[in-house]
Amino acid sequence: MVFQKEIKITNKIGLHTRPASLIVEVANKFKSKIWIEKDGQVANGKSVMSLLLLCVEKGSIIKIKAEGPDAQKAIEALVKIIKDKFGEE
């Protein structure tokens, strides 16, 4: 089953290297496949380089998609770190 959630990026700088690394760190705790989508571009949620290529700025809306046995829990964990502004503020 595929789960997805849209969320706004609200930290000051957007998705730079540290937040992208945090997303990958959390995503890799799950067996599910995870993708992050912005403006029709899709990135592997378990790849820092792939995430950085999305050029996600503050205020951007991204869609997190997950497919697999723990997809819903993966989405919940990723939404939590994004809402917490990646611990930056």
Nearby residues of 77 by Cβ (< 8 Å), 6 or more positions away: 26, 29, 30
Q: Indicate which residues carry an active-site annotation.
A: 16
67 torsion bin: left (phi>0), alpha (psi -120 to 50), beta (else):
beta
68 token code pair: 């697999």
Please tell me whether residue 25 adopts helix, strand or coil conformation: helix
DSSP 56: P
